[in-house]
């Protein structure tokens, strides 16, 4: 389908544009009153994720409300462990929990992988089809998956963690097993992203949310090779790699065959440009907490960020928008970008 506002895709392909595109990680979610009221009428988070027309509705809410340059399909990275055989629960106000986790070689052997696992996620592909159909080519739809290391950490820990010490322990104590698990997650993720692309997403983002807990050597050994496989396997659409906290691995990430590098808010634009060069397409990276500041301050900081990245830049926050961010401030951020001219 022809996309009317394809600013995001043009920038991802390395083209120069009149202004940068803008979208926000977690734009489909609790910042929007429409989301909160729909969510309150349901049994829980999973009902929303697993009901395609509802997931589509929530994906479209920020398009109408905020006027962003891209939609992201409403889902969660945790659908992958579930499709591989480890179901998750989403506990209100606490977050994800896995009743069963990976503890042994046998647990890894028993996992479903690749196309068979991707086959389990028909509700996601259906949600993508509905959303693309309803967007009518207005803007592109972003598909996403967790990076293998981030998915691995949930499968081993069973929930979020401050240290991820159980998952990291496995890397140190059982490196061969860790590679087996990483390989299965990667094979599944590749099939899953291909199916999402076939269903209609125009670009994909890989979230390595827990990259920053690994040592540089662990990241190079256990994360980069699998990100590389994903980047090489996904050729039909641009790939954005967002590895949060992985400033130490910037050189390795720069060598990945991905169209865009996502930056967190700890990375100063001039440092990123110094390491990546002026032509590398980057995405980010205003501190999400900046959106608690005044409208004037948000406008000034956003413009300054755009000037510092100096092109080949997709505007976003340095991580997901926090649920209690005033909606007016999110709009100020988006509108500042839309009014900007290089």
When computed from its CA atoms, the radius of gyration of the chain, rounded to whole angstroms, is 19
Among 10, 19, 39, 138, indicate the residue that binds ligand 1CP (CB under 6 A).
39
Nearer of residues 151 and 256 to ligand 1CP, judged by Cβ: 151
Instruction: Please report, for residues 17, 129, 187, the alpha-carbon distance to residue 132 in angstroms, rounded to integers and kept in the order given.
Output: 24, 5, 26
Residues contacting residue 220 through CB under 8 Å, at least 6 positions apart: 249, 252
Q: Which two tokens stand for residue 3?
A: 């996309």
Q: What minimum distance in Å lies between the beta carbon of 315 and ligand 1CP? A: 15
Binding positions for ligand 1CP, 84-103, rule CB under 6 A? 90, 95-96
- Total residues contacting ligand 1CP by CB under 6 A comes to 21
25 binds ligand 1CP (CB under 6 A): yes
Residue 143, phi then psi, degrees to nearest 5 = -100, 160
| Residues taking part in catalysis | 26, 30, 39, 76, 154
Among 32, 77, 130, 263, indicate the residue that binds ligand 1CP (CB under 6 A).
77
Among 38, 51, 76, 275, indicate the residue that binds ligand 1CP (CB under 6 A).
76
166 binds ligand 1CP (CB under 6 A): no
Q: What minimum distance in Å lies between the beta carbon of 210 and ligand 1CP? A: 7
The CA-based dihedral angle spanning residues 149, 150, 151, 157, taken in that order and rounded to the nearest 10 degrees: 100
112 binds ligand 1CP (CB under 6 A): no
Q: Which of the ranges 7-15, 70-78, 168-176, 259-267 carries the binding residues for ligand 1CP, by CB under 6 A?
A: 70-78
30 binds ligand 1CP (CB under 6 A): yes
How many CA atoms, within 13 angstroms, populate the side-chain half-sphere of residue 243? 29
212 binds ligand 1CP (CB under 6 A): no
Residue 39: CB atoms within 10 A of its CB come to 17
Nearer of residues 35 and 273 to ligand 1CP, judged by Cβ: 35
- b/e map of 272-300 (b: 16 or more CB within 10 Å)? bbeebeeebbbbbbbbbebbeeeeeebbe
72 binds ligand 1CP (CB under 6 A): yes
- With CB atoms as reference, the residue minimizing the distance to ligand 1CP is 160
DSSP for residue 265: T
Residues contacting residue 314 through CB under 8 Å, at least 6 positions apart: 8, 11, 12, 20, 21, 22, 23, 240, 260, 281, 282, 283, 284
Q: What minimum distance in Å lies between the beta carbon of 139 and ligand 1CP? A: 14
Contact 38, 58 (CB under 8 A): yes
Instruction: Tell me how far apart the alpha carbons of residues 298 and 325 are, in angstroms, rounded to a whole number.
Output: 12
Q: Which of the ranges 19-27, 168-176, 189-197, 278-286 carries the binding residues for ligand 1CP, by CB under 6 A?
A: 19-27
160 binds ligand 1CP (CB under 6 A): yes
Q: Which residues sit at the interface with ligand 1CP, rule CB under 6 A?
A: 25-30, 39, 45, 72, 74, 76-78, 90, 95-96, 144, 160, 207, 209, 320
């Amino acid at each position: 389908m022809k996309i009317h506002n394809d600013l995001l895709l043009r920038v991802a392909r390395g083209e120069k544009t009149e202004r940068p595109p803008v979208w926000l990680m977690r734009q489909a979610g609790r910042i929007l009153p429409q989301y909160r009221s729909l969510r309150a009428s349901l049994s829980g988070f999973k009902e929303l994720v697993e009901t395609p027309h509802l997931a589509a509705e929530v994906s479209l809410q920020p398009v109408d409300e905020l006027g962003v340059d891209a939609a992201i399909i409403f889902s969660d990275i945790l659908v992958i462990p579930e499709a591989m055989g480890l179901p998750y629960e989403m506990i209100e106000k606490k977050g994800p929990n896995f009743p069963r986790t990976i503890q042994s070689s046998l647990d890894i052997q028993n996992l479903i992988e690749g196309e068979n696992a991707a086959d389990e996620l028909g509700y996601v592909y259906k949600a993508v089809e509905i959303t693309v159909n309803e967007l009518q080519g207005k803007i592109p739809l972003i598909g996403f998956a967790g990076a293998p290391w981030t998915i691995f950490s949930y499968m081993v820990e069973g929930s979020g963690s401050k240290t991820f010490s159980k998952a990291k322990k496995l890397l140190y104590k059982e490196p061969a097993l860790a590679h087996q698990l990483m390989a299965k997650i990667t094979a599944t993720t590749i099939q899953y992203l291909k199916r999402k692309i076939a269903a209609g997403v125009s670009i994909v983002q890989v979230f390595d949310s827990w990259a920053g807990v690994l040592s540089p050597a662990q990241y190079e050994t256990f994360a980069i090779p699998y990100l590389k496989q994903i980047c090489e396997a996904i050729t039909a659409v641009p790939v954005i790699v967002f590895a949060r906290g992985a400033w130490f691995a910037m050189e390795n990430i720069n060598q990945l065959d991905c169209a865009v590098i996502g930056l967190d808010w700890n990375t100063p634009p001039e440092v990123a440009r110094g390491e990546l060069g002026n032509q590398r397409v980057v995405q980010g990276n205003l501190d999400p907490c900046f959106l608690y500041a005044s409208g004037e301050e948000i406008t000034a900081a956003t413009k300054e960020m755009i000037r510092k990245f100096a092109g080949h830049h997709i505007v976003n926050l340095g991580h997901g928008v926090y649920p209690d961010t005033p909606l007016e401030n999110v709009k100020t951020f988006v509108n500042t970008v839309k009014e900007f001219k290089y």
